[in-house]
Chains A and B, each alone.
Chain A
Amino acid sequence: MLTTLQARMLGTLLCLGLLLAATVSSLIFGHIPVSLEMLANSIVDYDPGSLEHLVIHTERFSRTVTSMIVGSGLAIAGALMQTLTRNPLASPGILGINAGAMFFVVVGATLLSLTSPSQLVWAAFTGAATAAVLVYFLGREAGRGVSPVRTVLAGVAVTALFVSFAQGLLILNQDRFESILFWLAGSVSGRGLDAIVPLLPLFGGALILALLLSRQLNLLGLDDEVIRGLGLRVGQVRLLIGLVVIVLAGTSVAMAGLIGFVGLIVPHMARGLFGTDHRWLLPLSAIIGATLLLAADTIARLVIPPQEIPVGVMTALLGTPLFLHLARHVRKVA
């Protein structure tokens, strides 16, 4: 772990450098490779007649932006949830919030024929909130508060429920097969910038709110009585954090569908490097999350050209070993 301020600054710079490298690779690698020079040209002097320029502008640019937003959103949501629930295994994917958002988006897109992203994102928020409430109540044990194992099980069961409903819709609505599969499998491709931009104000607002809450988040690790003694309104803070999680996870799902494990592993990486202070943890989680998803998406494009591996599969393969490691070392259930 990096303890001194200088080391942390250096670490942050390093992470930013990696993010830049991942961004550039995401822009240049793929089915049609683009040279660095060409990339610079396409920004400075855009020529619609050039195939490479067209690929960058129409496809890779929006794809890269989506990866960055989704990666950072899921990572911060995961960090917030792990603090909020005091459960190292919490993340929007594992606790069913992504699945709830995904199902409501699918219902909105197929049954209610919503098309604009700003409508779908509200469906996603509703779904995320529904799932969060379900898991919260199912995870509570009579008289003994919230138990980590029970919460994880509740999350998995709620995920199974929403996913099988979405699969049912998929089979009943075969003409919308493609669009439903997109959300089920999770993908950062195929969304134009016009679908992303309307979601940015809400997303940015939630992000800033999360950063502003850093001090309160640092206190949440203490006992409830101690926190109250320090003059923090625990209920209000928890509610605010919950809302931030729902907005971040909901936006991510509305953009890219189900992408698991980013919210789980990134906060652990950030905590391992920068400690538990949320003033460092949250921004670094965002940077690492964006880097990770960009890298995963770039690799997913390169493994079996011209096909692509769904990026959710890549993140799951990366995340499973870490989850198993954590599961083995979770302290005996309270």
Chain B
Amino acid sequence: MSRSLILRSRNDRWSIKLGTRVLVVTGILAVLLAASSVLALTSGSHPTSVTDVLGTLVAPNQSELALIILEIRLPRILMAILVGAALGSAGLILQGLVRNPLASPDVIGITSGASAAAVLFLWLGGITGTSLLLAPVAIGGAFVVALGITALAWQRGISPARLVLVGVGLAAGLTAVTTLLLVLSPDATAMNAYIWLTGSLYASQWHDVTALAPWLMVCWPLALIRLRHLDAQSMGEDMALGLGSALQGHRLLFLMLAVALAGSAVAYAGAVGFIGLIAPHMARRLVSSGHTGLLPIAALIGALILLYADWVGRVAFIPRDLPAGIFVAGIGAPFFVYLLYRLRQELG
């Protein structure tokens, strides 16, 4: 075993172990993300040079250029990073919890819960629903659905298999409800809702960033401290119990963490799919590590995917601004085929 960094509290209540390779890969990805962000800041309908961007970031002034960079591009890029990272880590936690590589927040219904709640809110409130209340409602929807999934799947504890199936079923029903509400709404509301549903970072603002960030600030540290229990669970229920890990309690905790991460991301950016599915796989390809080590890497990869997808959607078809979700699916498809190929190899 290579050297690793271990952080441990004095009474052993929590510990975090990160291998050297994890740290190196995290560092490389972080640098890549920072560089990509700066490059993304330079492009748009008003191309800017890198030096101008860096100059504006270091010493903001009142010029038009500074306004474009600081008030339009920067919040949007930060949102892409935060949302992507949240979805990537939510996917990692869910896949570990369900012990299935095909689980993700959109597959098991968390995303549809948030969507249905948001559309219901827009429908009840008419078109006056501005983004300030919409996001908490969507997060609430995600939590209600997660509780519903847990309640329906609960038979002397949560079984991951039932959790998935119940989630899949609820997701289908909620999608139908969403479509129904869209059909019942007047055109203006339907349009409003449809824009939200497509999942776009268009017109992200600073208050979105400051509203989303606290969720992540709470969830990530908690996940880092607790994720070693997911490693124990991946060795089997008996093993986890034998190692002294509270099985059902931790399952509930991880489910709630995944919901908080995915729900808040979806609330502020709309239903962006696939990142939760593919980012964890890419992370596992890069390092072999427990879930604690995978978390920062899956988060960074999620951030990179959404950053690039949004960048392409924003810049490639000027003056049209296409939702990032389309391009995420474009990355997701080749990776899916790759996943298939790998599974075949394991079989052969």
Which residues of A pack against B, CB within 8 Å?
A: 89, 94, 134, 137-138, 140, 142-143, 149-150, 152-154, 156-157, 160-161, 164-165, 167-168, 171-172, 185, 260-261, 304, 307, 309-310, 312-313, 316-317, 319-321, 323-324, 327-328, 330, 332-333
State whether A138 touches B102 (Cβ < 8 A): yes
C-alpha spacing A261/B168, complex, angstroms = 13
Which of chain A's residues have a CB closer than 8 A to the CB of B153? Answer: 328
Which of chain A's residues have a CB closer than 8 A to the CB of B103? Answer: 153
State whether A324 touches B273 (Cβ < 8 A): no
Which of chain B's residues have a CB closer than 8 A to the CB of A185? Answer: 179
State whether B173 touches A164 (Cβ < 8 A): no
Which residues of B pack against A, CB within 8 Å?
A: 100, 102-104, 106-107, 152-153, 155, 159, 161-162, 164-166, 168-173, 175-177, 179-180, 183-184, 198, 273-274, 277, 322-323, 325-326, 329-330, 332-333, 336, 339-340, 343-344, 346-347
**A-B pairs with beta carbons under 8 Å apart, 22 shown:** A134-B340, A137-B340, A140-B343, A142-B343, A152-B164, A156-B107, A157-B102, A157-B104, A160-B107, A164-B326, A171-B322, A172-B322, A304-B184, A316-B173, A317-B176, A320-B169, A320-B172, A323-B173, A324-B166, A328-B153, A328-B166, A330-B165
C-alpha spacing A304/B172, complex, angstroms = 22
- Chain B residue with the shortest CB-CB distance to A260: B172
State whether A171 touches B198 (Cβ < 8 A): yes
In the complex, which of the residues A149, A307, A313, A327 contacts B169, with contact meaning CB atoms closer than 8 Å?
A: A327
In the complex, which of the residues A143, A167, A307, A320 contacts B170, with contact meaning CB atoms closer than 8 Å?
A: A320
State whether B273 touches A153 (Cβ < 8 A): no
Which of chain A's residues have a CB closer than 8 A to the CB of B161? Answer: 149, 330, 332-333
C-alpha spacing A167/B336, complex, angstroms = 18
Known: A138-B340, A171-B323. A328 touches B155 (CB 8 A): yes
Closest Cβ–Cβ distance, residue B104 to chain A (whole Å):
8
State whether B180 touches A152 (Cβ < 8 A): no
State whether B177 touches A317 (Cβ < 8 A): yes
C-alpha spacing A321/B172, complex, angstroms = 10
In the complex, which of the residues A89, A160, A328 contacts B106, with contact meaning CB atoms closer than 8 Å?
A: A160
C-alpha spacing A138/B102, complex, angstroms = 9
Closest Cβ–Cβ distance, residue B98 to chain A (whole Å):
9
Known: A320-B176, A324-B169. A149 touches B340 (CB 8 A): no
Which of chain A's residues have a CB closer than 8 A to the CB of B162? Answer: 327-328, 330
Interface centre among B159, B169, B184, B322 (most CB of A within 10 A): B169
- Chain B residue with the shortest CB-CB distance to A147: B161
Which of chain A's residues have a CB closer than 8 A to the CB of B346? Answer: 142
C-alpha spacing A321/B325, complex, angstroms = 30
Closest Cβ–Cβ distance, residue A282 to chain B (whole Å):
25
C-alpha spacing A317/B325, complex, angstroms = 26
Which of chain A's residues have a CB closer than 8 A to the CB of B183? Answer: 304, 307, 309-310, 313
Closest Cβ–Cβ distance, residue B7 to chain A (whole Å):
35
State whether B340 touches A320 (Cβ < 8 A): no
Which of chain A's residues have a CB closer than 8 A to the CB of B165? Answer: 89, 149, 152, 327-328, 330
Which of chain B's residues have a CB closer than 8 A to the CB of A313? Answer: 176, 179-180, 183
Closest Cβ–Cβ distance, residue B144 to chain A (whole Å):
15
C-alpha spacing A19/B338, complex, angstroms = 47
State whether A150 touches B100 (Cβ < 8 A): yes
C-alpha spacing A142/B183, complex, angstroms = 44
Closest Cβ–Cβ distance, residue A89 to chain B (whole Å):
7
State whether A138 touches B170 (Cβ < 8 A): no
Closest Cβ–Cβ distance, residue A242 to chain B (whole Å):
18
Which of chain B's residues have a CB closer than 8 A to the CB of A161? Answer: 274, 329, 332-333, 336
C-alpha spacing A321/B274, complex, angstroms = 26
State whether A164 touches B274 (Cβ < 8 A): yes
Closest Cβ–Cβ distance, residue A175 to chain B (whole Å):
14
State whether A153 touches B107 (Cβ < 8 A): yes
State whether A327 touches B168 (Cβ < 8 A): yes
State whether A156 touches B340 (Cβ < 8 A): no
Interface centre among A138, A154, A160, A321 (most CB of B within 10 A): A160
Known: A168-B326, A323-B169. A153 touches B102 (CB 8 A): yes
Closest Cβ–Cβ distance, residue A42 to chain B (whole Å):
30
Closest Cβ–Cβ distance, residue A181 to chain B (whole Å):
11
C-alpha spacing A134/B339, complex, angstroms = 11
Which of chain B's residues have a CB closer than 8 A to the CB of A260? Answer: 172
C-alpha spacing A333/B169, complex, angstroms = 17
9 more A-B residue pairs beyond the given contacts A150-B100, A157-B277, with a C-beta to C-beta distance below 8 A: A152-B165, A153-B164, A157-B102, A172-B326, A317-B173, A323-B169, A324-B152, A324-B166, A330-B162
Closest Cβ–Cβ distance, residue A48 to chain B (whole Å):
33
Closest Cβ–Cβ distance, residue A179 to chain B (whole Å):
18
State whether A143 touches B102 (Cβ < 8 A): no
Which of chain A's residues have a CB closer than 8 A to the CB of B274? Answer: 160-161, 164
The 10 A-B residue pairs whose C-beta atoms are closest, nearest first, are: A320-B173, A316-B176, A327-B165, A168-B326, A323-B169, A153-B102, A164-B329, A142-B346, A149-B161, A324-B169
Which of chain A's residues have a CB closer than 8 A to the CB of B104? Answer: 157
C-alpha spacing A143/B344, complex, angstroms = 11
Which of chain B's residues have a CB closer than 8 A to the CB of A319? Answer: 172
- Chain A residue with the shortest CB-CB distance to B107: A156
In the complex, which of the residues A142, A165, A309, A330 contacts B347, with contact meaning CB atoms closer than 8 Å?
A: A142
